[in-house]
Structure 1
Amino acid sequence: MTNEHRRTPRVRQLRLVVEAEDYDAAVRFYRDVLGLEEHEAVAAEGDARITILEAGRATLELSNPAQVRMIDRVEADGRPSARIRIAFEVDDSARVTADLIAAGGELIAEPRETPWRSLNSRLTGAAGLQLTLFQELDPPAAPNS
């Protein structure tokens, strides 16, 4: 990446837009149980509603098919992931997994330590989204001064 791209990013925000048939359940699942903070909620005519939830720093992870198969083996005993899977970093993946299952999530794989030193679980969440919860097991590296 050139220095020019680092100084003047063209993209300011990544926003994933999901149509949720059971909107209220999806808001409860992601806001109230997972803990994403509500940034904005708007209602319009005809019962049109939107809730924008803050999810910390956003990244777009692009993986080739071999990498996806390797992650599926490590994280979910080889069960194939959805083409789009949302990964949330949490402080306690075992506890958050249990909370989301109690709130209606469907467990795909229990939390397990990965070769890259994170504790990952996989589940299907509200609105049919496939989720990975991951907890970094090593402290973050100190930034270079």
Structure 2
Amino acid sequence: MDQPPVLQMRLVVETDDLDEALAFYRDVLGLTEQAAFTGEGDARVVILDAGRATLELANPAQARMIDEVEVGRRIAPPVRVAFEVTDAAGTTTRLSEAGATVLAEPVETPWRSLNSRLDAPAGLQLTLFQELESLEERARRPGFGTADDRDR
């Protein structure tokens, strides 16, 4: 099998307080440090492993619907970071205690995940999601699947 043309996605976030962001994302959320580099003039970068990456593209109607389900109003910026976690309620509490602002407590979504929304360090809005059913189970329900499934 040929290697796919894209091997990794990195979301690069500039932050004025790298130490605060590291304490939050590495030490509290639990992302592991993959690499770190320093350069001239106090230049620093730390690459955190967040597991598998996906790029979720949503049209404005879908983005509004997600905001309505998760938060009850339109609130998301054009880019929002979502982390799949094993315990949405517990992780929301831990991140709140570490300085994140909870915008919405965990709520079960129509797509069967438990989602919360937070404002977090480095100017990021986060969705934490805990899957309540497998992709295979979800794909059997109306409105879910892939574009290939809908084209048939």
TM over 0.5: yes
Which of residues 82, 85, 106 in structure 2 aligns to 1:87?
Answer: 82
User: Which one of 19, 37, 42 corresponds to residue 42 of structure 1?
Assistant: 37
Q: What does 1:1-145 correspond to in 2, within 5 Å?
A: 7-139=2-134, 141=136
What is the TM-score of this pair, normalised by structure 1? 0.89
Aligned-pair CA distance for 1:74: 0.3
Query: Structure 1 stretches (4+) deviating beyond 6 angstroms?
Result: none
TM-score by length of 2: 0.85
CA apart distance, 1:139 = 4.6
Q: In 2, Cα distance between the equivalents of 1:25 and 1:108?
A: 20
CA RMSD in angstroms comes to 1.5
Unmatched tracts of structure 1, length 5 or more:
1-5
Deviation by residue 1:28-55 (Cα, 9 ceiling, x = unmatched): 1000000001000111221111000001
Number of residue pairs matched by the alignment: 137
Q: CA deviation at 1:80?
A: 2.0
| Unmatched 5+ stretches in structure 2 | 138-152
Distance 2:25 2:87 in 1: 16
